[in-house]
Structures are given as structure tokens and as C-alpha cells.
Amino acid sequence: MLNIKGLVKKYGKFTAVNDLSLNVPKGEIYGFVGPNGAGKTTTMKIICGLMAADSGEVYVNDIDVINNGRKAKEVIGYMPDFFGVYDNLKVTEYLDFYASIYKINARDRKKICDDLLELVDLQDKRDAYVDSLSRGMKQRLCLARSLVHNPELLVLDEPASGMDPRARVEMKEILRTLKDMGKTIIISSHILPELSELCTSIGIIDRGRMVISGTVDEIMQQVYSKRFIKVKIKDKGEECVKIMQESPLITSINKDENLIEAGFEGNEEEMAVLLKELVMRGIPVISFGQMDGNLEDVFMKVTKGDEA
Amino acid sequence: MRINPVLQKEMKIRMRGWRAAGMIGVYLIFMALTASFAMMMSMEGYYRSAIDPDLAIGSYTGLAVMQFVLISFISPALTTGAISGEREKQTLDLLLCTRMTPLSIVTGKLFASISQIVLLIIASLPIFSIVFMFGGISVIELLELFGFFIIISITFGSIGIFYSSYFKRTTAANVLAYGTIAFLCFGTIFLTIFYLGVFKGYDYKGVFPLMYVNPIVGFSSILWEQFGLGSMDFFPGLIVGSTAAVDFISPWIVNLLFNITLSIVLILLSANKINPLKVRHGGRFSLSHRRKK
């Protein structure tokens, strides 16, 4: 769906985006992570035709964004990190205005506006003036605006910034719904745990370069080279440790009462085999799983490594 | 026919609330006071019959001058915030990331402002029509003048929108737009007189080329010819009037052509300025242009 090859953008002597390449398949939610000034917003603006690149190629749905920007804009929905609203314009009029830009006829526009307001849960605000909405509502409305022309690719720059926890959860739910609808989403955020929950793939960008890209699991494996598993048992702790130590894939093990944490150099199938072995040998396993991937640690490690 | 969505939205926003009605009200009060004042001045001192072409000319001139002055002030005021205001409100990117071209955004913004001016001009028609009571001015002449006003408002509006697209802040755009209009109206006169005084010893017959770009000269010229007052040498470098038209092109016609050309150039420059993938200065082209070579 989105294919970027060797993208370069310079501001004078400063290189904001440096030979960045990226491929996001259809239906993915791709998390774009990086420190401030890493080049996330610049890359997103180039994707949306809001900025010219110095070199490189950007294709959205096989449409060349750089040479055929107008056509590409019809399949891209963009939500910037900072956005404004017009005074004296009601919520439905706001959406209707953007829908009219895409030459959608008046009857269809009404239905689209109603559907989008339902999606972002703003039906009861349809006749409110846009500038009277709260920040969270404005952000949801902006998301609805980016969907008026039913784009295939959504580019969301920090969509949850400044939102309270409840609004963030609601935004996350909306994004999941959009994924279920088949939309491809590229999203930047500083709230890394949320990204790791939401995204199917993640790319970490630092100083304009793509440092690492892939699924969360792939990144964890690339960065840490091994997994950590956590086993909670009812009793038989010593026996459980002994069985686990028999596996050549266990690299380290630590027992704390009924909780066992172990380093594991294997894939998911091999984890399943280990669990089966424990159960077969009568260990009362309450829970068994991989320790949560901590994207923040990965982010710190990856970007720190680049600085060194 | 499909209306430009920006124009449609802007007109909706601008006409909502008391501001639009207030502006029309204040405008008409100014025009009505001017009409009353002009009539009183024309009638002062001696008895006139009700049907007197001089009275018509006095009222018509007074109203036309007031209309010209008001348009000169209102047109830039309505446009200098058009693009810079979008930037300040952070809504420009939202427009540019749609399928709308920068040119249609600029023209939508400009013509939304111009439509307000046209509304003011049309609203002033009943006041202007009092000149018909006295005769001397035809409907065609009145429409000719209104056409001139609309072109002038587009030109002044284009100047406003040009600075609005080049400057991030509306205040800077305002100052420069009014400065440019002041230069066109007065600066060109001073420059002409200065140049002719220094280099020609005020010995210049006809209309000095710089005078053609002056909106006041264009406006005076159209009134002068409508009144059929013959030619008059206002100052070295400026002759207006019907006799002069034989030897020189009427200043108002050249001025109109200049205004139309200037407006088109400024609109195109504004559109290029807000285009994120614009042609760069110094002959360098953006990636899209280079790759097309």
C-alpha cells in the first residue's frame, strides 16, 4: 500500500530525512516512532504531498505521490499533529465542506457525515459549532474529516497527543475499527506502550534514518536476541525449574516463590512445546507467556546505540 | 455548475452572525451621508430647480469617490487574512492535503471577499439611483463605474491575498498591502512629478506611462469622460478627457487592463507560494519537475 524508496529531505545543511525506505502492506497499522526532530512529521508530510522531497520515491497504492500528487491525495487521509478549526462552522458543515472538495454529491455527503459522526461518537454534537468542542472531540472530528473521501491509507501524526486517558482509549478503539474496515494506517506517537498494543508493525526513526523496522516481535528479537517467558504456578516450583532447565532453549532462569522468569531462545512453537511438557509432567500452571515487550526499552536502546 | 467549495464555505462563514449585516449597515450609512452632503453642497448658495444635471454630477461624484475610498480600504482588509489566517488557524495544511489545487484555494478565498464587496456595491445602488432624479447620468454609465469598482476591488483584493500568502502574519500582510495600494495611488503621482521635474523640466505632453497604473487616475478618468468635460491637463504627465482620448488611450481603459493583468499575476504567484510542491526560486525545480525532464 505504501512504498517509500530512498527518501531524502534537507533543510539547508540539516538532513531531516536521510535515505529512508519503508514498505507498509495493505491493512497494516504501522507505528512510526522516533524522538522529536527525528523526521517523522517531515516523512508524513511528504507522503501526503504537503512537502517536496529532495530525492526518493513515494508510492501509495502504486500511485506516484511526487509526480501524481492530486490522484494520490484521493486515497490518502491525513490528520496532522496540530490542526485548527474554522469559527462559525457547525460539525456537520465542517465535514460537508471537506466532502464537497472531493466532489461527493450532496445526498451522499449527508449519509457519509452521519456515518462518520457515528464512528467517532460525535452524533450528539452534529449541530455544535466546531470551535466549541473539547480538544478530544476536535481530534475525533479531525479523524472523521480525514475519512470523508474513504481513503485507503490514513496518515495520523500524533493523533492522541494531549488527550486524556479515556479519550486515548476511545481513539484506539476507533483505529481498531478502521483496521477492521481494511484501512492501512501509518501512525506516529510518543506513547510507545499504546503503539505496541495497537500496531502490527513498527519503525523506529532517528535523525532521519530508519533504525529498525518490522513487527513488534521481530524488533524485540532483533534487539534482545532472546525472549523472556514468565510462568506462574500453583506449587511444585522446584520441579518446574528442573524441567525447564532440561530445555536447551532456556538460557537463564529465576524463581521467586510461585513465579518463574526465564530467558528463552526459541520461537512461539517452541514455547508451546515447553508449556505442553510442563503440563504433561504434572506442573499446575496458572499462566504461561512471553513477558510484555517493552517498546520504550527498545526505543531507548536503539536510539542510544545510534548516538554512541 | 459546481461552486468552488472554499468560496461556498467562506461565504457561509462570512455571512453568518451580525458582522456582515453590520458592515453593510455602516457602509450604507456612509454612502447615505455622502449623498446628503453632496446634495447639500451642490444646492448651497443659489436656487436650483429639481432637475439639474450639475446637481446629479455633484452627488454622483461624491458617492463615487466615497465608494472608491471605501473599496480601497475594505478590499485589502477582507483578503490580507485569507491565507495567513488559515496558517494562523492551522487549517491550510488540511486544505492542501485534499485534492483542491492551490489555485482554487486562492481564487475561492479571493472571490469570497470580492463577493462581499459586490454585495456592498449592489446594496449601494438605491442610494446611487438618486442621481437619476436629476438626469445627466445614464444607467450604462453607472454600470460602467460599478464594473470599474469590481475590477479595482479584485486588484486590491489580489494585492491583499498576495501578501497574505507570502507572510505568515496577517499584520505584516496588512501593512504591506495598504503600503502597496498607497504607492499605486499616490507614490506613482509623486514619482511622475519628480521624474518629469528633474529630467523633463515639466515639459511633457500626454499621459506619462506610470500614470496608467494609478487607480485614482483611472477612476478620475472614467468620471471625467462620463461627464464629457473635455480634456484637462491635471499636472505634467496627466491629461484626461474626451479630447485627450483622441491622441492618447483613455487612462481608465489602460488602468483596467493593468489591474486585470496585475490581479492574474498576483493570484498565480499566491497559488505558487502556497503550493507545497512549488517551483523553487533560482531556477531549481522540485523533485517532481526534475524527474519529468
Specify the DSSP class assigned to residue B199: I
Per the DSSP assignment, residues forming a β-bridge with A231 are: A260, A288
Fold classification of A226-295 is Alpha-Beta Plaits (3.30.70)
Residues of A in contact with B287 (CB under 8 A): 52-56, 66
Model ipTM value: 0.78
Give me the pLDDT at residue A251, please: 81
CA dihedral (B18, B24, B25, B30) in degrees, to 10, reads 150
The answer to whether A45 faces chain B, any CB pair under 8 Å, is yes
Closest alpha carbon within chain B to A151: B98
Give me the pLDDT at residue A302, please: 66
Residues of A in contact with B271 (CB under 8 A): none
- The pLDDT of A150-161, averaged and rounded, is 88
Contact state of B5 with A101 under an 8 Å Cβ cutoff: yes
Q: Which CATH architecture has domain A2-214?
A: 3-Layer(aba) Sandwich (3.40)
Which residues of chain A are in CATH 3.30.70.100 domains?
A: 226-295
- pLDDT tens column, B216-270: 988 988 888 877 766 666 666 666 655 544 456 778 888 999 999 999 999 999 9
- The pLDDT of B112-117, averaged and rounded, is 90
Contact state of B292 with A76 under an 8 Å Cβ cutoff: no
**What whole-number distance in Å separates Cα of residue B49 and Cα of residue A275?**
113
Give me the pLDDT at residue B230, please: 65
Specify the DSSP class assigned to residue A104: -
Residue of A89, A190, A97 lying closest to A149 (CA atoms) = A97
Give me the pLDDT at residue B292, please: 42
Closest alpha carbon within chain A to B8: A97
Give me the pLDDT at residue A297, please: 66
Give me the pLDDT at residue B111, please: 92
Give me the pLDDT at residue A264, please: 83
The answer to whether A129 faces chain B, any CB pair under 8 Å, is no
The answer to whether A131 faces chain B, any CB pair under 8 Å, is no
Residue of A200, A139, A201 lying closest to A166 (CA atoms) = A139
Q: How confident is the model at residue A223 (pLDDT cuts 50, 70, 90)?
A: low
The answer to whether B19 faces chain A, any CB pair under 8 Å, is no
Q: What is the DSSP string of B230-252?
A: --EEEETTEEESHHHHHHS--HH
The answer to whether A8 faces chain B, any CB pair under 8 Å, is no
Residues in CB range of A240: below 8 A, 6 or more apart? A231, A233, A260, A278, A283
Q: How confident is the model at residue B175 (pLDDT cuts 50, 70, 90)?
A: very high
Closest alpha carbon within chain A to B4: A101
Q: What is the mean pLDDT of chain A?
A: 84
Q: How far is CA A125 from CA A5, A141, A163, A293, B10, in A?
A: 42, 10, 18, 39, 22
The answer to whether B89 faces chain A, any CB pair under 8 Å, is yes
- pLDDT tens column, A167-178: 788 888 888 888
Give me the pLDDT at residue B47, please: 52
Give me the pLDDT at residue A169, please: 82
Give me the pLDDT at residue B139, please: 83
> In the structure, how many helices (H) and strands (E) does chain B have?
15, 2
